[in-house]
Amino acid sequence: MYTSHEDIGYDFEDDPKDKKTLKPHPNIDSGWAWMVVLSSFFVHILIMGSQMALGVLNVEWLEEFHQSRGLTAWVSSLSMGITLIVGPFIGLFINTCGCRRTAIIGGLVNSLGWVLSAYAANVHYLFITFGVTAGFGSGMAYLPAVVMVGRYFQKRRALAQGLSTTGTGFGTFLMTVLLKYLCAEYGWRNAMFIQGAVSLNLCVCGALMRPLSPGKDSNDGGGKDPQVVPAQSPGSKSSGQLDGAEEKGGGPRNEETLGDLPAQAGQEKAGHGQNMGAFRVLKTASQLTRRVKKGFRAWYSGYFGAASLFTNRMFVAFVFWALFAYSSFVVPFIHLPEIVNLYNLSEQNDVFPLTSIIAIVHIFAKVILGVVADLPCISVWNVFLMANFTLVLSIFILPLVHTYAGLAVICALIGFSSGYFSLMPVVTEDLVGIEHLANAYGIIICANGISALLGPPFAGWIYDITEKYDFSFYICGLLYMVGILFLLIQPCIQIIEQSRKKYMDGTRV
């Protein structure tokens, strides 16, 4: 989705001629492309899976720091929100450094955030170390994982994205079990320290994001240093003068000149070395400056020059939907472990956590909904909307159920209906076209990030006021329904406007 000197391959921003040259690439839809899917799969496990399992740590933080639920929930929300909100800005790193380097740096920053959080003295410390630092590192590793899958796949992009994003479900299940075990055995501080070490595997995932072989981007002579012609150097000129003097002069002078030749050759060689070293430094600085300028230009024109996207009212409605939708999926993950404690269902939940039920069903739902949406007789939009309606219905029913079996059924519905996340790139492409998909999807995940940032603290504050989570889910469900209505109303308005335009054209004729 983002252009880069390093990651040259299938790109939405490339010219049509470049696309034609990249189609026969042997790694497109095959070969190393599946290693990129595997890398993206593990990135989703380590980042999105860990974030969805933060409810375990949220309980520990409440007991440790004795702060309000609304304030404590900001830690998880900051981490989730910043991971997505920084998406458009991470594009600048991708354009400048490439996906591989960006993901590796992101893995280091994410790991640093986990380790520093192990020494937190209060919740406000966690805002910086875990919410901001770990969240920013997660964003740097997460976006390249999505971008590289898009670059390596053309025909099977939906399948590849669906398979890679199932890592979120696997990660939620695995990380929930892992964090609960680590917290029980070593305490939450040591658990975060260990998780920081585990997060270093993001660097390995980043290393697997091998860029496609370069095309026409290499205009610098294949990256080789230009050869300096010896005849143009001062030493060569003096040598030519010496030869002339040798022919004209006598024997003793010739011997003196010949005696000075080794010293002059040494000076000439040292001069050449200095010239070449200075030339290489200047060339590197020039290439870096050109790369930064090119990356910033592509980033700026892609996001701030994308005003035409907002003339598409259907896309604007989709952005409003994204603002409300993601919190309805995130809030249960953050607050469900505490809801279980309030309902005195801890023993049953310890046997098989409800968040793990959401995660397991979520894994299969992404693949199933992706396969169904690819059928020629079924509209992607219909599948997308039906999944959204099922999710909002589950959110409304959740506060009414107080038994483990009932909550397990509702969690299964939430996990299945939330599988529509794998359809979001496809739906976005239908709205804006493939040439604007990169910019549009960056805006959509940014809206999701705002939703994830504000949703859990809002639910916590509602609990602090009412001492119930019921109203939190009802309000989230109502806002979610408003977003869905935006998606439904806009096509109706477009149909009415098209009919009116046809009618006006008919009356003029």
Q: How far apart are CA 194 and CA 111, in angstroms?
A: 10
| pLDDT at residue 129, rounded to an integer | 93
Helices 404-417 and 380-397 cross at an angle (nearest 10°) of: 160
CA 494, 386, 139: angle at the middle one, nearest 5? 90
Q: How far apart are CA 447 and CA 456, in angstroms?
A: 15
Q: How far apart are CA 62 and CA 456, in angstroms?
A: 14
Q: Which of 448, 454, 453, 414 is nearest to 428 (CA)?
A: 448
| pLDDT at residue 349, rounded to an integer | 82
Residue 135 has pLDDT above 70, yes or no: yes
| pLDDT at residue 409, rounded to an integer | 93
Residue 312 has pLDDT above 90, yes or no: no
pLDDT per position as a tens digit, 253-270:
444 444 555 555 555 555
Residue 66 has pLDDT above 60, yes or no: yes
Q: How far apart are CA 43 and CA 201, in angstroms?
A: 9
* Averaged pLDDT, 164-188: 87
Q: How many CB atoms lie within 10 A of CB 290?
A: 12
Q: How does residue 214 score in pLDDT terms, banded at 50, 70 and 90?
A: low
What's the pTM value of the predicted model, to 2 decimals?
0.66
Residue 179 has pLDDT above 80, yes or no: yes
pLDDT per position as a tens digit, 394-418:
989 988 888 899 999 999 999 899 8
Q: How far apart are CA 472 and CA 364, in angstroms?
A: 28
Q: What length does the chain have?
A: 509
Residue 438 backbone dihedrals phi, psi, to 5 degrees: -60, -55
Residue 22 has pLDDT above 80, yes or no: no
CB 303 within 8 A of CB 439: yes
pLDDT per position as a tens digit, 466-495:
777 888 888 888 888 888 888 888 777 767
Residue 436 has pLDDT above 80, yes or no: no
**Of all residues in the chain, what percent carry a pLDDT higher than 70?**
73
Residue 10 has pLDDT above 60, yes or no: no
Residue with the bigger pLDDT between 381 and 329: it is 381
Q: How does residue 53 score in pLDDT terms, banded at 50, 70 and 90?
A: confident
Question: If you write DSSP's letter for every residue of 244-272 in order, what string do you get?
Answer: HHHHHS-HHHHHHHHHHHHHHHHHHHHHH
Q: Which of 210, 205, 162, 211 is nearest to 40 (CA)?
A: 205
| pLDDT at residue 421, rounded to an integer | 82
Instruction: State both tokens at 275.
Output: 């010239």
Q: How far apart are CA 262 and CA 257, in angstroms?
A: 10
Residue with the bigger pLDDT between 297 and 317: it is 317
pLDDT per position as a tens digit, 359-378:
788 888 888 887 787 777 88
What b/e readout covers 489-508, taking b as 16+ CB neighbours within 10 angstroms? ebeeeeeeeeeeeeeeeeee
| Residues 6 or more apart whose Cβ sits within 8 Å of residue 161 | 146, 149, 150, 153, 370, 422, 425
| pLDDT at residue 270, rounded to an integer | 56
CB 129 within 8 A of CB 117: yes
Lowest mean pLDDT among 35-39, 165-169, 329-333, 466-470: 329-333
pLDDT per position as a tens digit, 77-120:
888 888 888 877 777 777 778 888 999 999 999 999 999 999 99
Tell me 199's DSSP state: H
* Averaged pLDDT, 38-46: 93
CB 435 within 8 A of CB 309: no
Local structure of 468: helix, strand or coil? coil
Residue 442 has pLDDT above 90, yes or no: no
Mean pLDDT is highest, among 150-154, 212-216, 448-452, for 448-452
Q: How does residue 389 score in pLDDT terms, banded at 50, 70 and 90?
A: very high
Chain-centroid distance of CA 40 in Å reads 10
Q: How many CB atoms lie within 10 A of CB 378?
A: 11
| pLDDT at residue 438, rounded to an integer | 62
